[in-house]
Amino acid sequence: MAISSSFPFLPFCLLLWAFTVYANGCYTSIISFGDSLADTGNLKQLVAKSNGRPPHFMYPPYGETFFHNPTGRCSNGRLIIDFLAENLGMSLIPPYESVKSSMEVIEKGQGVNFAVAGATALDSAFHEAQGVYNAYTNASLNVQLGWFKRSLPAICGNPSDCKNWIKKSLILMGEIGGNDYNHPVIAGKSLEELKSYVPLELIELGAETLVVPGNLPIGCSAAYLTIYYGAQKDEYDNATGCLIKLNKFAECHNELLQTELNRIRELHPNVNVIYADYYNAAMQFFQSPEKYGFTNGALTACCGGGGPYNYNRSVACGYPLSTSCSQPETYANWDGLHLTEAAYQVIYKSLFQGTYTTPRFNSVCPTSMVQAKDASSSSVQSF
Ligand SMILES: *[C@@H]1O[C@H](CO)[C@@H](O)[C@H](O)[C@H]1NC(C)=O
Ligand SMILES: *[C@@H]1O[C@H](CO)[C@@H](O)[C@H](O)[C@H]1NC(C)=O
Ligand SMILES: *[C@@H]1O[C@H](CO)[C@@H](O)[C@H](O)[C@H]1NC(C)=O
């Protein structure tokens, strides 16, 4: 209760605090970092501001199923973060780029999304030194973290009030890293180390609950299946049709990541560091697509430029020569690189309502929230 009386947003924050404990259980807000798996509109805004050429996912049929227009999300509808926000009783998490001037987030109080499609975990300087230039964005994980830190005074005021806000937030750290694999060998270890360094910084700022996703089974992606089309028969997993070597690569990264997360847990036993097993959550529908309604299989893209997996790099979904399926809910793969809303929903449920996080998502609450709840409702009124 040591909130300075000079803090200008005090009455509002009190309201928020009381609201959360009763409506959402554990969290007042979601703070998200990542790439196209979580971008809800940042790259769209950034491109508009720079008068750049709009990427293919700014055109229909992106967004057709849920939003009925392209929002900047790389899917036909909602992403994992959208399902999460809905189910925690929040409105959809606004992209940083569309709230940063008005800081509408202060009124909404429900967090902010820094994820940018195309973003890498490692800085662009690192990739440029390897001769890899990112055509989409240089908003790496560190750049996103910088935006977050700089926006804190506007969002939550002084450091101690910010600490309180961050404490009660659910922090989604990705997925990020999928775009770093242009030079997989080089990116390998430094990538997973970075993915643990950023959580440590967030913990310094007060974070008590972090969800850190691992990689998806990239060997099941229509884009990679197309690039390696015609590989030896024994390079494919019989049960799924996915490329074994690439999936092993993703699994290996996930092992490294979990080792790093264990290190953080040892350093900060009071912080909930939740590993989100995207790989095995998605593997369910790659193994039994029909069971999830993916009657057109889990490998072929709904929207794309033709070819065995309906993926052609030069005819991306959204561009004139591409075609799109009429029933996206019968596909797991949306555009070759990204999944359909239906597939993201399966992953969402498996993670946040199921057993594919460690520890289970529903079994944890920020330490400070547990204490607040234990102290009974009278402490809310006396606040
Ligand atoms: C990223 O790109 C923007 C726009 O081109 C530029 O203003 C900014 O300085 C760059 N940031 C970094 C970290 O390279
Ligand atoms: C895949 O199927 C082939 C032929 O049906 C079989 O010879 C091979 O052992 C199988 N591989 C695996 C990993 O099950
Ligand atoms: C991709 O599309 C281009 C343009 O239509 C075409 O020339 C090319 O052959 C296609 N590539 C594949 C692998 O189908």
- Residue range 172-186, pLDDT digits in tens: 998 888 888 765 555
Is residue 382 part of the annotated active site? The answer reads no
Residue closest via CA to ligand 3's atom 10 equals 312
3-state secondary structure of 304: strand
Instruction: Kindly tell me if the per-residue pLDDT of 366 is higher than 80.
Output: no
Residue to mutate, 309, 315, 317, ligand 3, most ligand atoms under 8 Å from C-beta:
315
What's the rounded mean pLDDT across residues 230-239?
Answer: 96
Predicted pLDDT of residue 372:
57
Ligand 3 atom nearest to CA at 321: 5
Confidence label for 8 from pLDDT (cuts 50, 70 and 90)? very low
Alpha-carbon distance of 79 to 340, in angstroms, equals 8
Residue closest via CA to ligand 3's atom 7 equals 314
Determine what percent of the chain is predicted with pLDDT higher than 70: 84
Confidence label for 51 from pLDDT (cuts 50, 70 and 90)? confident
197 or 288, higher pLDDT: 288
Predicted pLDDT of residue 122:
81
Alpha-carbon distance of 236 to 226, in angstroms, equals 13
- Catalytic residue selected from 36, 75, 140, 324: 36
Mean pLDDT, the chain, whole residue set: 86
Indicate the pTM of the whole model.
0.87
Is residue 288 part of the annotated active site? The answer reads no
Q: Which option is the CATH number for 29-364: 1.20.120, 1.20.1300, 1.10.10, 3.40.50?
A: 3.40.50
Confidence label for 32 from pLDDT (cuts 50, 70 and 90)? very high
Instruction: Output the CA 314–ligand 3 centroid distance in Å.
Output: 7
What's the rounded mean pLDDT across residues 300-306?
Answer: 98
- Catalytic residue selected from 75, 124, 335, 350: 335
Cβ-proximal residues to 72 (8 Å cutoff; 6+ apart), any chain: 39, 40, 41, 42, 43, 44, 45, 57, 58, 95, 117
Predicted pLDDT of residue 103:
61
Instruction: Kindly tell me if the per-residue pLDDT of 379 is higher than 70.
Output: no
Residue closest via CA to ligand 1's atom 1 equals 138
Give the DSSP per-residue string, 259-276.
Answer: HHHHHHHHH-TTSEEEEE
143 C-beta closer than 6 A to ligand 1: yes
Instruction: Kindly tell me if the per-residue pLDDT of 199 is higher than 70.
Output: yes
314 C-beta closer than 6 A to ligand 3: yes
Q: Which ligand is nearest to the CA of 313?
A: 3
Type of residue at 331:
Y
Closest CA to 41 of 92, 94, 4, 5: 94
